[in-house]
Chain A
């Protein structure tokens, strides 16, 4: 049996799925300040409700926003020793150059730009200098608890990054976490280096989360294999998560997209996750979230790691509805948020929210419907306005003009209309309110490669085959069953302004967890 947990901004959700992926129990409880108490409460509730022996739970998956919050709030971060290989190239821009000052103060340790790195075709820029790396590490003061290494075009060849990491291990001791850029980001040195440094900086947060996750389950008598959800909708082992905690920063929306896919049985659709304050709209393509093509900012820093492409809309169950002279009605962007059960009309409050509109329309029975007395015109206007907002949001993420199906999930999806322009059908699957935890529970294991290949002396097929093999190997290392692996995404981008026939190839492979028959 599998246990899926999602710790979101408001609630901690848990679900238990059996071997046939049937949902046995679900629970939604408010987050607790220490997070772990919330996890214990939600998990013990589903274990009881499903009436299962905790020992029968073989896999437990956690999706959490702890790492994201630590970066946004600049809390619990460690200072990072930074090595960049590529000199003399790259010296024109120092590491962390465009960071917000407060985050840089919290994270920046000694930084060096040293020889190494390669050209786009893998030829060395300058010879790796072992002594220089060793000296740089020795000169870093004792307070440095984590390291970040990046080198030019390491997505093409990462030898120098690995050699530098080995030297750091020798000089600083085995226990200190070392983040390597080729394993974290793609082409674009500054963004990849930023993500690598952030990854190193959040390692203490990851240790706490992982320790507490293990502790909570142990106290409940659960001895399952444990995993964390990552941005691309697949799982990583705790050991991997401790090395690459930054890969959890967008797992929330990803899990809801994957959960929506599972609950609806669909693999290609638009997924709309309606919460209390906002709605996230993402794209499910081939069973996975579509990733963003542009650099993603986190905590004010440009990064280029794998993130789902989302459009967020300030419209949710708690959004405040106001009559507005010119436009008829205005919805949000402010929301009563947590206080819905006190402030909404249907709960005896004084604020007209989108939840009240749903109650007035008779599509939801929440609180005391009698308390909601709103003019019909206002109800209709709010319904039409929200429909238009949803339509535009869906339209923004579509990849073609054709009609597409939509899967609506999340606690607020009752607001989502049953028919929209540009949408072939709206699905509201059972258990929609715990789609995130389901998404965590059913996740697969993946591997990716994103590299520039020169096609001057090899065929395109040859390059694609190498990319496929590398992605499979990456997935296998992450715990995937080799026989179940398949390519889920191939992207080829010819590099403009380069007549040397260089092409950037990105391949993602995914498969089910080894030693598990479901999924």
Chain B
């Protein structure tokens, strides 16, 4: 258990924007909400999953819908509490903790606002280990936890409970309800036991987000380049160290809306060590694939993050513009995100890249990872060298 301060939330906002891999919504609004909730209600503690009793009840909280609407119609503050209470009534017992379902973007902060108001601790882990666009894209789903019964609540007191055939139908119905609630709403889904959380969650992602934010803020002081500091910040986590994929400037951005998603690509022209090289980053809200001079060098679910080359803050898909100096880094996703079942939900193929096989960053950049080391469970990737 550690107490989360408003300063931690500032760092988390910086780190979660990076873990948003281009999407996830700007954490700023969520951060200010959480800070006000903590000022008014008192501190929130962050607990390690190992501190959870197996029989404990975890009710994850999140915002769902359009971040562009949320920056205008800011929440009331008690939506998530009403959703939590409704879920508790349905399940006939009290929640012991809440957690994020998504550690990238604005949803890294929402559980802290909810936890302060509902007097619950937040568990340090989530179901995506990054940002993804849909509710079934959760390790919870992949490893057998039901997303329902779920609750969607708005600022005026409307509370909609959802039972569904499966987690895909939950996504479909909850999305529709969210639109009728004015574009965004608060959500409780994947109610689960402490044992299930420990078994299925991507662990330590909130404290890692805070660490990344601290690395960005403190890099200059410690004489490190901020991009280097971001890469180093995940070294001792289940992710392992980040790797610089490319450094360059944005020369073209193409973006269009398809079924509510911002789909397109950005082209980067190399600078410094990457002079004469080109990088293409394809995205659907989040960055999915990075292709350097025609060769795929990173793909979903590994994290592809575009950072401001000087400050190492996240450059989101919405804010990509010609001329920006950006550094693309890859952060290897944890093993729990890479099982065959998991890749069926969010591997390259799930996003329409039919002929693209996922290859872990550790394998593609084996030399780099042999030098810096990888978490124990990832050592297997170092022995199989990439195709010539």
A interface residue numbers (CB < 8 A to B): 86-94, 97-98, 117, 119-120, 123, 125-126, 152-153, 187-190, 293-294, 395-401, 494-500, 502, 504
Contact = CB atoms under 8 A, between A and B. Distances in A.
A492 B67 CA distance: 17
Contact of B74 (A187, A189, A400): A189
B2 interface: no
Interface string B57-90: 0000000011111011111110000000000000
A498 B74 contact: no
B257 A496 contact: yes
B260 A499 contact: yes
Interface in B24-38: 29, 32-33, 35-37
B375 interface: no
B68 A496 contact: yes
B350 interface: no
Contact of A496 (B32, B77, B260): B260
Contact of B156 (A126, A495, A499): A126
B262 interface: yes
A120 B179 CA distance: 10
Contacts of B65: 497-498
17 contacts: A86-B73, A88-B157, A90-B74, A91-B77, A93-B32, A93-B33, A120-B183, A126-B156, A152-B74, A187-B72, A189-B74, A293-B321, A294-B319, A399-B323, A498-B179, A498-B183, A499-B260
B69 A498 contact: yes
B74 A125 contact: no
Contacts of B183: 119-120, 498, 502
A500 B68 contact: no
A90 B259 contact: no
B76 A90 contact: yes
A29 B207 CA distance: 57
Contacts of A152: 72-74
B75 A89 contact: yes
Given A125-B182, A187-B68, A401 B251 contact: yes
A429 B109 CA distance: 52
A125 B261 contact: no
Q: Which secondary structure characterizes the binding site on chain A?
A: loop
B249 interface: yes
Nearest to B76: A88
Interface residues on B, range: 35 or more
B76 A92 contact: yes
Contacts of A94: 36
B77 A92 contact: yes
Nearest to B322: A399
B74 A397 contact: no
A40 B36 CA distance: 50
A210 to B, nearest CB: 32
B77 A398 contact: no
B362 interface: no
B285 interface: yes
A93 B33 CA distance: 6
A189 B71 contact: yes
A6 to B, nearest CB: 28
Nearest to B258: A494
A119 B324 CA distance: 34
A122 to B, nearest CB: 11
Nearest to B117: A92
A189 B37 contact: no
